[in-house]
Amino acid sequence: MTTPTIKDISGRRIIDSRGLWTLEVELRLSNGSRAWASVPQGKSVGSYEAVCVDERDALRALESVIDPAVRGFRAGDQQEFDERLIALDGTTRKERLGANTTLALSWAYARASAISQGRHLWEYLADLADTDPDFPQLYANLINGGLHAPNDLDIQEYLVIPRERDPEKATDIVLKMYHALREVLVAQKGACGGLVGDEGGFGPDFRDNLEPLQFFSLVAREVGVEQSVSFGLDIAANSLFMEEDELNHLIDEACDTYPVNYLEDPFREDAFEAFAALTQRRGGQARIAGDDLTTTNLERMKRAHKERSINTMIVKPNQIGTVTETLEAIEHARAYGWQVIVSHRSGETTDDAIADLAFAVGADGIKLGAPARGERTAKYNRLLLLARQFRKKD
Ligand code: PGA
Ligand code: ZN
């Protein structure tokens, strides 16, 4: 059987979950296989992320630069395809073509290749990465603050993390917490208690930055999942104007009062030392995760490793811009002994490829927001489907 090649690519503007234009790409192969991909966009974007260009520039680049350069390229050679995109761009941060452009194409190529091989996307990715698929823990962001909700919370995300890895059982726990939380927030905070922020979590005003954790504890007891969950915080400190002392104080209070064992971006994006001190102090019990600190970027990761800043890393494909570079970052994170958590962005589309990615590499976790809003539930539902596909294979 001859290997199919790229027949053509096309792009269009679509809107993301925050009502902003983003990019969708479709790729057709010579054997008739076709696949699409769309890309998310962040709001609390780290300075070291690859650059996303305006979607109209992305469309022009697709048509005038990329399409002529990839037509006729064979399917199934992800690394070489991505390297071609990287070379066409020629900058360290994808400034010319845009990481949104390269990532949309890279995912569409991966999907089309998988389809033409008669495989699921996760099978294709696991083969590429040479990893054993496994279900990630769910990191469900049930209360939104910071830049993601117009309330008074400084902390951006309050996460519920079921210990259970089976997607159906874990989702069930998240749903129980979500519904009970809504009820108690509406009862105590009025109608606003039931309104949601960018990632589907509730977003009313709170007494202080730790009150959401008090609600989590209350609700976990109420629905009988107290022993089955832990809590996490994405402080997203880069968007805050808090001193490190103040942040450390807040973290200590959170971890000493509640079952919090996950802390993401507890300090600003260049605070490698403050991260290291916290990892030294609390890293035995808690996952200290870099997001804006590391930006899925090998150079930033090397430094974080050298300075022992973290024990966990967030992986966002659009921080770097291709599937190959994302897998490379995951491989390095693992070699450093870090836990790996694949993550969505606040501005999402219904593209569910990150669920395949997290499962394919056996990631320790996946951040996918609350079980609300189509762009978030798409990822939950994809994981539920993968569980079925995987069980059937065994
Ligand atoms: P963003 O934030 O998608 O708005 O950049 C998500 C995060 O900080 O994890
Ligand atoms: Zn983050």
Final residue of a structural domain among 93, 124, 155 = 124
**Who contacts 163 (Cβ-Cβ below 8 Å, separation ≥6)?**
137, 228, 229, 230
How far is the C-alpha of 319 from the C-alpha of 90, rounded, in Å?
17
The reply to whether 118 and 139 lie within a common domain is no
Q: Are 79 and 85 in contact (CB under 8 A)?
A: no
Return the residue matching tokens 């007891």.
Answer: 221
Final residue of a structural domain among 70, 96, 124 = 124
Phi-psi region of 362 (alpha: psi -120 to 50; beta: other; left: phi over 0): left
Residue 236 beta carbon below 6 angstroms from any ligand 1 atom:
yes
Nearest-atom number in ligand 1 for the CA of 46 is 5
- Residue 339 corresponds to which tokens in the numbers above? 């836990």
Residue 291 beta carbon below 6 angstroms from any ligand 1 atom:
yes
> Span 268-288, mean pLDDT?
98
Q: How far is the CA of 292 from the centre of ligand 1 (A)?
A: 9
Residue 144 beta carbon below 6 angstroms from any ligand 1 atom:
no
Confidence band for 375, pLDDT divided at 50, 70 and 90 = very high
Told to judge if 316 belongs to the known catalytic residues of this protein, a careful annotator would answer yes
Task: Indicate whether 171 pLDDT > 60.
Answer: yes
Residue 44 beta carbon below 6 angstroms from any ligand 1 atom:
yes
Residue 315 beta carbon below 6 angstroms from any ligand 1 atom:
no
Confidence band for 394, pLDDT divided at 50, 70 and 90 = low
Give the DSSP H or E segment for 185. helix 167-189
The reply to whether 253 and 346 lie within a common domain is yes
Residue 92, in any domain of the structure:
yes
Helix (H, G, I), strand (E, B) or coil at 339: strand
Residue 45 beta carbon below 6 angstroms from any ligand 1 atom:
yes
> Span 262-290, mean pLDDT?
98
- Residue 380 corresponds to which tokens in the numbers above? 């939950």
The reply to whether 232 and 376 lie within a common domain is yes
The reply to whether 281 and 327 lie within a common domain is yes
44: number of CA atoms within 13 Å, CB side?
28
Q: Which of 199, 346, 366 to mutate to test the pocket of ligand 1 (most atoms within 8 A of CB)?
A: 346
CATH of the domain at 227: 3.20.20.120
Q: Which of 316, 348, 367, 375 is catalytic?
A: 316
Tell me which ligand sits closest to the C-alpha of residue 141.
1
* Per-residue burial over 357-376, b = 16 or more CB atoms within 10 Å of its CB, e = otherwise: bbbbbbbbbbbbbbbbbebb
Q: What is the CA radius of gyration of the chain?
A: 21
Nearest-atom number in ligand 1 for the CA of 343 is 9
Residue 340 beta carbon below 6 angstroms from any ligand 1 atom:
no
How far is the C-alpha of 284 from the C-alpha of 343, rounded, in Å?
23
Task: Indicate whether 389 pLDDT > 90.
Answer: no
CATH of the domain at 119: 3.30.390.10
Beta bridge partners of 159: 141, 232
The reply to whether 120 and 193 lie within a common domain is no
- For residue range 247-264, list pLDDT tens digits in order: 999 999 999 999 999 999
The reply to whether 198 and 342 lie within a common domain is yes
Task: Indicate whether 194 pLDDT > 70.
Answer: yes
How far is the C-alpha of 223 from the C-alpha of 177, rounded, in Å?
7
Told to judge if 302 belongs to the known catalytic residues of this protein, a careful annotator would answer no
- For residue range 208-228, list pLDDT tens digits in order: 999 999 999 999 999 999 999
How far is the C-alpha of 52 from the C-alpha of 316, rounded, in Å?
13
**What is the pLDDT at residue 2?**
87
Final residue of a structural domain among 124, 148, 176 = 124
Q: How far is the CA of 339 from the centre of ligand 2 (A)?
A: 15
The reply to whether 189 and 113 lie within a common domain is no
What letter would DSSP give residue 317? G
- Domain range for 90 is 6-124
- For residue range 38-49, list pLDDT tens digits in order: 999 999 999 999
**What is the pLDDT at residue 392?**
75
pTM over 0.75: yes
- For residue range 62-103, list pLDDT tens digits in order: 999 999 999 999 999 999 999 999 999 999 999 999 999 999
**What is the pLDDT at residue 390?**
85
Task: Order across the sheet with 21-29: list the strands.
Answer: 6-15, 21-29, 34-38
Residue 234 beta carbon below 6 angstroms from any ligand 1 atom:
yes
- For residue range 301-329, list pLDDT tens digits in order: 999 999 999 999 999 999 999 999 999 99
Query: How many domains is the chain built from?
Result: 2
Q: Which of 43, 158, 368 to mutate to test the pocket of ligand 1 (most atoms within 8 A of CB)?
A: 43
Nearest CA to ligand 1 atom 1: 42
Residue 1, in any domain of the structure:
no
Q: Which of 18, 44, 318, 367 to mutate to test the pocket of ligand 1 (most atoms within 8 A of CB)?
A: 44
How far is the C-alpha of 247 from the C-alpha of 142, rounded, in Å?
21
Task: Indicate whether 6 pLDDT > 60.
Answer: yes
User: How confident is the prediction for the chain on average, in pLDDT?
Assistant: 97
Q: How far is the CA of 22 from the centre of ligand 1 (A)?
A: 16
**Who contacts 344 (Cβ-Cβ below 8 Å, separation ≥6)?**
40, 199, 316, 354, 367, 368, 369, 375, 376, 379
Task: Indicate whether 283 pLDDT > 80.
Answer: yes
- For residue range 140-166, list pLDDT tens digits in order: 999 999 999 999 999 999 999 999 999
Helix (H, G, I), strand (E, B) or coil at 235: coil
How far is the C-alpha of 66 from the C-alpha of 167, rounded, in Å?
38
